[in-house]
């Protein structure tokens, strides 16, 4: 996951609507079922999906009252903590 990408997507959600991101996730998930995709292509799609889900999670925290910067930092700490485990 990349914080700048999640931040950009969070801004996109604020300016538009979360539904766009959810539909994008559905589309990308459907693409993963193409049997001819290479492993590298699946990795890229997986990274995109992870960033999209991350932005949705950060947006949820912001809507619950967490300041944006704090929400982004808390999310990344949680992700890094999960990786370290």
Written as six digits, the tokens of 36 are 């001819």
Q: Give the pLDDT mean for 47-75.
A: 95
What's residue 1's pLDDT?
82
Cα distances (angstroms) measured from residue 31 to each of 25, 35, 37, 48:
10, 9, 9, 12
- Cα 12–Cα 60–Cα 76 angle in degrees, nearest 5: 85
32-35 long-range contacts, CB within 8 A, separation 24+: none
The more confident residue out of 80 and 41 is 41
């Amino acid at each position: 996951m990349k914080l700048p990408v999640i931040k950009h997507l969070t801004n996109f959600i604020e300016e538009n609507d979360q539904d766009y991101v959810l539909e994008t996730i559905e589309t990308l998930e459907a693409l993963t079922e193409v049997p001819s995709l290479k492993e590298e292509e699946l990795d890229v799609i997986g990274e995109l999906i992870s960033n999209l889900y991350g932005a949705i999670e950060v947006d949820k925290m912001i809507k619950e009252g967490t300041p944006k910067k704090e929400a982004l930092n808390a999310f990344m700490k949680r992700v890094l903590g999960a990786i370290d485990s």
